[in-house]
Amino acid sequence: MILNSTCVVCRLLSRSLGSSTASDLDASGNEIFCNLAAPICGLLEHPKHPMHPMHSYLFVAIAPLLIQQMLGVEVQAHPHDTHDEALLHKFGDYMRKYNKDYVKGTEEYHRRLARFVQSAAEAERWNQRPDRLWTAGVGPLADRSEEELQSMRGYFGSASGVGGTSGAPRGFLRASLAQLSTSETPEQFLNWTSLKTLTNVRDQGGCGSCWAVTATTVLDSHAEIYKSGQRSFSAQELVSCVPNARKCGGTGKCGGATVELAFQYVMEHPLQTDTEIPYDGVDGTCSHSSLIQRSKRSSDLDVAAVGFHGASSDAPGMQIMHGWERLPENAYLPLLHAIYERGPVAVSVDASKWSSYESGIFDSCDQDAVINHAVTLIGYGKDKSLNAGYYLIQNSWGPSWGEDGKIRMLRQDEDDRNCGIDHQPQEGTGCEGGPKEVKVCGMCGILYDNAVPHFRHPA
């Protein structure tokens, strides 16, 4: 049955706190605690303001955690006493579907259940919006805490500490090939979705390695397009080996870095294949003896600078690609040209609200987006049934998330004029000493920070 007590939290308190609080209870049992808990939780039923059933579920699931945090006492929930059996059954189905192995009665089980219930309520709220373009659901991330989701995003862009291109040595940057292009792009371009390498949607796990996984997804795709001799690249080697002295995009390894740093590393080192160094989702240890020597060579380079970054004549990466390019910031057409003329592009976005996404065209980012996740743009198109354009993005949260591991995100021709300000670049978009704020355009800030490799064309 659905719990309809007007003071469920007081049962939890009285059961958990016991005789130590007996003097605080009046003759009716728990009225004092009810009065205390009501303003804290704000979810108690009232004859004139009945709760939605999902709010009842949410309340009884999170009440112990709320009380423990706010009153400084430990509360042990008893699922068979405080949770609706149907809810527990749904959580059991969820655990089986996504191979979760939480043990009933443990602290972790109750914590995951509480987060699951909260996510279900959030999804229902999203789905009640009028004229919505996307559907929310209870997916594989529904039991993750916000701290865990932040760790998974683990990417914080590449805002330069010096601004523009002034930090790059003379001769390092060349003309942007995307900017020089004069060809028109089609209204829809989804050719790359047929690439064999993109049928494998990767799962970064709990490591903040989206920057490395995205970099290798893009590299693998281009290797297939341009028939490179090396067809796969190790994301784990990037996580373990890419230096990040200026703390661009995070602290390095599973603590976050940037796609630009990954591309630069690939030009300077003979990156192993994914078979040789498979992905483990851990920091790992770098085995390259030449890492320090070669890293010094590029330590003064501003890899966040916009433009083409060419490989030196003796760089190992010259056998695969002759450089990579950071596209102009907040420019719509260069991004379309890059995906159409070159191949999949590494893009940075604000993915703070993506965990509930199930299907449709996502359009719910705040205008002042905080860039915090790296993903792979694999195409763009228009959904006639929704009368809306979209960017097609492959994520790194596994194939069970979203639309088979992908998300469609709202695309408009005026995206380079749909702009906001990222007010948290120290957390979301840069290196140490970077700008205090940056302009970000397009849905979820997609136009701000994008990079694409330039592979050698087959002979």
**Domain range list for the chain:** 8-128, 147-455
- Topology adopted by domain 147-455: Cathepsin B; Chain A (3.90.70)
Contact 446, 389 (CB under 8 A): no
Contact 442, 415 (CB under 8 A): yes
Contact 416, 439 (CB under 8 A): no
pLDDT band at 313 (very low <50, low <70, confident <90, very high): confident
pLDDT of residue 427: 54
For the cut 90, the answer to whether the pLDDT of residue 100 exceeds it is yes
pLDDT of residue 459: 62
Block residue for tokens 């957390």? 427
The residue type of 340 is Y
pLDDT of residue 198: 97
- Percentage of the chain modeled with pLDDT above 70: 71
pLDDT band at 159 (very low <50, low <70, confident <90, very high): low
Q: What is the mean pLDDT of residues 67-85?
A: 49
CA atoms within 13 A on the CB side of 428: 26
Question: Rounded CA gap, 335 and 349, in Å?
Answer: 14
For the cut 70, the answer to whether the pLDDT of residue 52 exceeds it is no
Q: How many residues does the chain have?
A: 459
What residues contact residue 49 under an 8 Å CB cut-off, 6+ apart? none
Enumerate the β-bridge partners of residue 3. Answer: none
Enumerate the β-bridge partners of residue 430. Answer: 159
Question: Rounded CA gap, 350 and 429, in Å?
Answer: 10
383 φ/ψ angles, rounded to the nearest 5 degrees: -95, 110
Q: What is the mean pLDDT of residues 108-136?
A: 95
Q: Where are any strands of DSSP class E within 99-169?
A: 134-136
H-type alpha helices, 206-331: 210-225, 235-241, 259-268, 291-297
Q: Which residue has the higher pLDDT, 24 or 377?
A: 377
**Weakest mean pLDDT among 15-29, 171-185, 243-257:** 15-29
Q: What is the mean pLDDT of residues 66-95?
A: 63
Highest mean pLDDT among 144-153, 218-227, 306-315: 218-227
Q: What is the mean pLDDT of residues 351-372?
A: 96
**Token duo for residue 364:** 């719910």
Q: Which residue has the higher pLDDT, 73 or 366?
A: 366
51 φ/ψ angles, rounded to the nearest 5 degrees: -80, 150
**Weakest mean pLDDT among 30-34, 63-67, 303-307, 407-411:** 30-34
Please state, as a whole number, how many other Cβ atoms lie within 10 Å of the Cβ of residue 455: 22
pLDDT of residue 457: 79
Residue whose C-alpha is closest to residue 353's, from 337, 372, 326: 372
Looking only at the bridges linking them, the beta strands covering 357-362 and 134-136 are: antiparallel
CA atoms within 13 A on the CB side of 139: 22
Question: Rounded CA gap, 445 and 419, in Å?
Answer: 8
pLDDT band at 425 (very low <50, low <70, confident <90, very high): low
pLDDT of residue 195: 97
Torsion angle, CA of 146/147/151/152, rounded to 10 degrees? -30
pLDDT of residue 347: 97
pLDDT of residue 227: 94
Identify the helix (H) or strand (E) that includes residue 307: strand 307-310
pLDDT of residue 458: 73
pLDDT tens digit string along 334-351? 999 999 999 999 999 999
The residue type of 97 is K
pLDDT band at 456 (very low <50, low <70, confident <90, very high): confident
Identify the helix (H) or strand (E) that includes residue 362: strand 357-362
Q: Where are any strands of DSSP class E within 317-356?
A: 321-326, 345-349
Contact 392, 341 (CB under 8 A): no
Question: Rounded CA gap, 222 and 220, in Å?
Answer: 6
Contact 328, 165 (CB under 8 A): no
pLDDT band at 401 (very low <50, low <70, confident <90, very high): very high
- C-alpha 387: how far from chain center: 26
Please give the mean pLDDT across all residues of the chain. 80
pLDDT of residue 441: 98
For the cut 60, the answer to whether the pLDDT of residue 158 exceeds it is no
**Token duo for residue 370:** 């905080």
Q: Which residue has the higher pLDDT, 55 or 382?
A: 382
Contact 448, 342 (CB under 8 A): no
Looking only at the bridges linking them, the beta strands covering 357-362 and 406-411 are: parallel
Q: Which residues of 104-141 are buried (b: 16+ CB within 10 A; e: fewer)?
A: eeeeebbbbbbbbbbbbbbbbebeeeeeebbebbbbbb
Is 438 exposed, middle or buried (CB count within 10 Å of its CB: 0-12, 13-18, 19+)?
Answer: buried
**Weakest mean pLDDT among 77-91, 198-212, 431-445:** 77-91
pTM of structure: 0.79
**Weakest mean pLDDT among 24-38, 353-367, 402-416:** 24-38
